[in-house]
Amino acid sequence: MAAFFIGSRASNLAKAQVRGYLAPLRERFPEVTFTHRVILEGGDRDRRSLLSDVSAASGGSAFSSEQEAALLRGDVDAVVHSLKDLPTANPPGLVLLPPPGREDVRDALCGSTLAGLRKGARVGTGAPRRIAQLLAVRPDLELVPIRGNVPPRLKKIETMGLDAVVLAAAGLRRLGLEHEVGELLPLELFPPSPGQGALGIQVRADDSAVRAVLATAGDPAVDAQVRAERALLAELHGGCSVPVGAYAETRPDGSLSLFAQVTSLDGRQRVSGTLTGPSSEPEKLGTALAGRLTDQGARSILDALRTATAV
């Protein structure tokens, strides 16, 4: 009997994602024993420092470096990430498998609706993309930085006197917290982080036995979508700390439509565009749209943000 060890972060959301991912695999491969192992990341240990500082200290990502190291050492056979938290480049020796479907990609406002927020309302979010997109629509808002797992961030509405917080709808749904949603924010104004709502299934490139089993859970359509989104982000030299939103949809004819938006951190500048291409070439589509956005001024927005954060 084969035994596979599957790693993830320690949060309740990460554990829920692993349970959901493994359930059909356990039915499909009863001869395989799947064991979940929790791996603590730098971003989980340090809840006070800036994520950029935590990432620098870890030599990679605040939410994936320790898991990737464990995978490379052979401590686990695969890691289940939230794909939006993963850098666009895999470490040497690791690859991503096609994700198993995708949850709702939208952001959710919890505690209020957008129209229901009073002037000057205090809204909690630590993501530059969400800050920028909210200010573009509601420049009167006071954006309050918050970090942590989903339930603690929801509690900050009370503990910090916030009017609302912004979270990914996917995480709320996976935790059974849909009732906390005040409004699902419209995609045309609030495009999500590339890969949001999808899982990142990371394995060793040379582990053919694990790849053969886990690849059976992959969804080719979702794989094309997230590859296009991540290729766009990579071409813009961005990451989860920059205000880039993107989402791809598979059209009825099988083609792929990609929408993306780059927003200045103060919300005053927005560059957006849509491009459609064959789903067989998602990276080409993402790269092409990134080029169009760059021609329209996206690079100057991102360069200004990097300059400001470096000071």
Catalytic residue IDs: 85
SS3 5: strand
Q: Using a CB cutoff of 8 Å and minimum separation of 24, what contacts does 135-138 make?
A: 135/265, 135/266, 135/267, 135/268, 136/189, 136/263, 136/267, 136/268, 136/270, 137/189, 137/267, 138/114
How deeply is 255 buried, as exposed, middle or buried, from its count of CB atoms within 10 A (0-12, 13-18, 19+)?
middle
Sheet holding 2-8, edge to edge: 32-38, 2-8, 78-82, 199-204, 94-97
Tokens 């979270």 belong to 167
Measured torsion, CA atoms of residues 105, 284, 292, 55, in degrees rounded to the nearest 10: 60
Distance CA 183, CA 111 (A): 9
